[in-house]
């Protein structure tokens, strides 16, 4: 048991530690901890405000529906998060060989990885569940039993999403094995699965919320489509211990069966994940020469598309635009065209579409982990015959290429399917390009300030590192600044002039951040 706890501690350090945090003195640690608390506080604030707005928007006689709605939302968000994280945390982690050589049971290693992953999910669950449980309890004057059921529900909520996502990851890893194009296959599969989950989530919401203010209808739909979640919601609403018991037993049984299956496959799947495809027939080919920048950019592109977790966790934001458009096309193009025409008549179409592109592009954070992903190879990278400016620019251009490629496809779909004008599409293209460049430079700068060079899984760097956390909220603040600026300035200027003002500001901010990168950033890169 002691060894297992020690392994859990090591896994948690890998998940949440940071190079600067680990090596800093107490004063600097306090500063870094306060920096991390800012986005965490922002997440909690948003969740609290959302819960307050929801309960105040509901009529008094319908407020008891709030826990059901929030349980459904929490479950769906956790499915998405675990789907994007499960494979990287539980398979293919870098310290697999080291852990296998330790004098501990193999089951202890598996349990340690699972517990660390669950604790990360509890962190997400806290921001989603704690505010609505407390706010509903206070507003509706709930007693001790309500809070006890809420705590038990919080402890069990991540189990089903984790089991679902891990089993999918198991199937994908087992199916691909040492297949030559396994990374390409996994990338395509996960992207299609992500789109399918998004589509399924929206369809599920429509089925569940067909009669939003009818508790009977909502709970009936929930029982048909998410029965385990139904028993937790009923237990929370009625303080029914029998429903709570069903919920607990269901989760325990599912988790126990999962542990048995996962324990048997854990070693085999990880062994396959660490084996590459072996080329048997070698052929000599003529090597073409090119610029150093192009060569390094190709290396970055190959690395990006060769890592499924890196790709999936960073391309999801821009891809959401295309997914929503496809879902809209399936649901009804004519109805959407009516809304778009109405927005355009009111002068709101371009602002709304610009905000959508700004926020979706801000979630693509390739550069925020590009330095950290070099890991122990950073010294080798510094030995390349490349200037630091070339290395930085290649990483920036990679994010610009990926984000803009998806944005261009989205704009093309918008023009063809939803008849968005070419002028509007061009304005949106310019907005997307300049903001994407700003996000890319900002992410690289933050990664240099908060590097994480020691890690056992790429997913930890790409998804949970401090640099990614700060970059995500910082980029969203940039996007929010544009929206607020529009709301304040629209009374005095046309939207085109507002766009031009903000684009000039974005270019200036990007330029000054680049100046820092080629001066202070160089020094930080040399000291990594």
| Nearest C-alpha neighbor of 52 from the set 171, 135, 122 | 135
Write the DSSP string, 299-357: HHHHHHHH-HHHHHHHHHHHHHHHHHHHHHHHHHHHHHHHHHHHHHHTT-HHHHHHHHH
Q: Band the pLDDT of 509: cuts 50, 70, 90.
A: very high
End-to-end CA distance of the chain: give it in Å, rounded. 36
Q: Is 411's pLDDT higher than 90?
A: no
Q: Band the pLDDT of 445: cuts 50, 70, 90.
A: very high
Structure tokens, 273: 């994940």
Q: What pTM did the predictor assign?
A: 0.71
Q: Band the pLDDT of 382: cuts 50, 70, 90.
A: confident
Look-up of token digits 């990885």: 113
Q: Band the pLDDT of 107: cuts 50, 70, 90.
A: confident
Residue 141, classed as helix, strand or coil, is coil
Of 71-85, 300-314, 346-360, 513-527, which one has max mean pLDDT?
513-527
Residues 346, 204: Cα–Cα separation, whole Å: 32
Residues 92, 456: Cα–Cα separation, whole Å: 9
Of 82-86, 217-221, 346-350, 521-525, which one has max mean pLDDT?
521-525
Tell me how many degrees the CA angle 404-39-463 measures, rounded to the nearest 5. 55
């Amino acid at each position: 048991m002691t060894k297992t706890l020690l392994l859990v501690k090591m896994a948690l350090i890998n998940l949440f530690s940071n190079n600067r945090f680990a090596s800093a003195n107490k004063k600097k640690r306090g500063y870094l901890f306060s920096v991390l608390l800012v986005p965490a506080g922002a997440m909690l604030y948003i969740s609290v405000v959302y819960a307050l707005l929801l309960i105040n928007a509901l009529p008094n006689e319908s407020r008891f529906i709030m826990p059901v709605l929030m349980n459904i939302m929490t479950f769906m968000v956790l499915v998405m998060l675990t789907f994007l994280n499960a494979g990287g945390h539980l398979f293919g982690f870098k310290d697999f060989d080291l852990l296998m050589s330790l004098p501990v049971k193999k089951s202890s290693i598996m349990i340690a990885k699972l517990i660390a992953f669950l604790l990360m999910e509890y962190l997400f669950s806290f921001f989603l569940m704690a505010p609505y449980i407390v706010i509903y309890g206070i507003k509706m004057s709930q007693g001790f039993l309500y809070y006890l059921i809420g705590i038990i529900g919080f402890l069990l909520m991540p189990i089903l999403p984790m089991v679902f996502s891990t089993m999918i990851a198991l199937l994908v890893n087992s199916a691909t094995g040492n297949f030559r194009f396994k990374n390409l296959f996994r990338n395509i599969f996960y992207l299609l699965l992500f789109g399918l989950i998004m589509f399924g989530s929206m369809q599920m919401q429509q089925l569940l919320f067909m009669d939003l203010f009818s508790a009977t209808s909502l709970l009936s739909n929930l029982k048909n489509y998410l029965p385990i979640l139904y028993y937790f919601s009923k237990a929370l609403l009625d303080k029914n211990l029998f429903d709570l018991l069903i919920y607990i037993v269901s989760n325990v049984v599912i988790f126990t069966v999962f542990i048995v299956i996962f324990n048997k496959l854990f070693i085999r799947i990880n062994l396959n994940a660490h084996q590459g495809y072996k080329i048997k027939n070698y052929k000599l080919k003529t090597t073409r020469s090119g610029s150093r920048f192009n060569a390094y950019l190709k290396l970055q592109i190959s690395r990006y598309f060769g890592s499924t977790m890196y790709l999936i966790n960073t391309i999801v934001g821009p891809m959401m635009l295309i997914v929503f458009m496809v879902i809209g096309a399936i649901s009804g193009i004519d109805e959407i065209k009516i809304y778009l025409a109405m927005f355009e008549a009111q002068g709101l179409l371009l602002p709304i579409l610009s905000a959508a592109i700004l926020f979706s592009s801000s979630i693509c954070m390739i550069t925020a982990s590009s330095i950290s992903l070099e890991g122990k190879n950073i010294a080798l990278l510094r030995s390349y015959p490349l200037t630091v400016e070339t290395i930085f620019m290649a990483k920036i251009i990679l994010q610009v290429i990926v984000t803009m490629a998806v944005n261009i496809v989205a704009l093309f779909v918008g023009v063809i399917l939803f008849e968005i004008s070419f002028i509007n599409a061009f304005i949106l293209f310019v907005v997307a390009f300049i903001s994407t460049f700003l996000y890319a430079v900002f992410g690289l700068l933050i990664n240099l300030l908060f590097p994480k060079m020691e890690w056992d899984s790429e997913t930890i760097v790409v998804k949970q590192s401090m640099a990614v956390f700060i970059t995500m909220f910082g980029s969203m603040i940039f996007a929010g600044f544009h929206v607020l600026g529009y709301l304040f300035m629209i009374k005095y200027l046309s939207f085109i002039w507002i766009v031009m003002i903000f684009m000039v500001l974005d270019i200036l901010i990007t330029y000054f951040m680049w100046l820092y990168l080629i001066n202070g950033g160089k020094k930080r890169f040399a000291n990594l």
